[in-house]
Amino acid sequence: MDITFVNLTLLKINGEIENLSGHIYPTATYQKILNNPRLRQKLLTYILDRVPNNYAALNADKIVTISPESLYCSIREKVEIKQFVQQGVVYLILSELNKSSLLNQRDAV
C-alpha cells in the first residue's frame, strides 16, 4: 500500500486562481500572468510561501480526483488566499515591468 501526500492548499489556490481569472482579471496583462506557465508557477510559489500548507496522506491506489470545490476552506483562509493571489499578480506585473525596463535601458546604452 503506497501512500501519496497531496498538498490540499495548492489545490485550493489553483481553484481560486481559476475562479478569479475570468471575473477580476479580464485584461490582457492579468491573463498573460495567469496563462503563462512560468509566471503562474511564480504566482503559486509566491502564495504558497505566505499561507499555511495543509497536506493529506492518501492511499495511492485509492486516489480520486479532488476538486478544489470539495475542500473545506474557512472564510479567513479564503480571504487570505484571494488577497495573496491579488498581491502576487501585482507583484509579478511589477517585476516583469521592471525586467523589461531594465532590458530596454541596457539596449539603449
Sequence ranges of the domains in the chain: 3-108
**Secondary structure string (H, E, C) spanning 28-43:** HHHHHHHHCHHHHHHH
Task: Judge whether residue 26 has pLDDT over 70.
Answer: no
Residue partners of 6: CB distance under 8 A and separation at least 6: 55, 56, 58, 63, 66
Inter-helix orientation angle 28-35/75-108, to 10°: 100
C-alpha cell at 103: 532590458
- 13-17, 19-23, 88-92, 99-103 — which is least confidently predicted? 99-103
Confidence of residue 87 (pLDDT cuts 50, 70, 90): very high
C-alpha cell at 6: 497531496
- Proportion of the chain above pLDDT 90, given as a percent: 28
Task: Judge whether residue 32 has pLDDT over 90.
Answer: no
Mean pLDDT calculated for residue range 77-83: 91
Contact between 49 and 9 (Cβ < 8 Å): no
- The alpha carbon of residue 6 and the mean position of all alpha carbons in its chain are separated, in whole angstroms, by 16
SS3 (DSSP) at 4:
strand
Residue partners of 56: CB distance under 8 A and separation at least 6: 5, 6, 8
Confidence of residue 109 (pLDDT cuts 50, 70, 90): very low
